[in-house]
Amino acid sequence: MTPLFMLMLGMFETGMIMFNQASIEGALREAARYGITGQDPTGPMTREEQIAAIISDYTFGMVPASEITITSTVHDDFTGISGEPLDYDANGDGNWDIGDGYEDINGNLVWDAEDVGTAGYGAWSQIVEYRAEYDWPLLMPFSSGVLAAFNADGDGAIHLSATMVVRNEPLVGAAP
């Protein structure tokens, strides 16, 4: 192959990755808009299947609903979304060490660097973090080498993900 042809194929591959990343982000926004309403899905689909179908529709069918991983985590407020905050970090490394203080949000007596919410879609006025993940298979075999920095697993796919944090709307007739 000529270098110009390889460059053009690489640009096409990169453009497809960028397009799909943007599509997943927009699709997750629409899925979260559905999720905050507390609507029950119509028909035989579960709530998770309905959210996956919305994402598949808004990604123009390029991301199959059966292959996207969707997680939703419920929080009472915004404080635990990115882990438990450190009150005092003696060496400034951002991790809990003996002697450091932290706010134990979930009461498990252990510092949690990751999300401390619970799985689910939440009740009204709760905070829900939606996350969609998909491994985009590279179209050109030589792209794996060129895009190796983004293909840490070496499996011939680029990991795409999007996160959306929303507060559920008050539901009609629901109590807090």
What are the pLDDT digits (tens) for 49-108? 888 888 889 988 888 888 889 888 888 777 667 666 666 677 777 776 776 776 766 666
pLDDT score, position 22: 94
Of 50, 55, 166, 46, nearest in space to 117 by CA: 166
Q: Is the pLDDT of residue 153 over 60?
A: no
Question: What is the reported pTM?
Answer: 0.72
pLDDT score, position 104: 66
pLDDT score, position 139: 74
Cβ partners under 8 Å of residue 96, min gap 6: 86, 89, 102, 111, 113
What's the CA angle centered on 116, arms 114 and 121, to 5 degrees? 120
Amino acid letter, 121: Y
pLDDT score, position 93: 75
CB 105, CB 77: distance < 8 Å: no
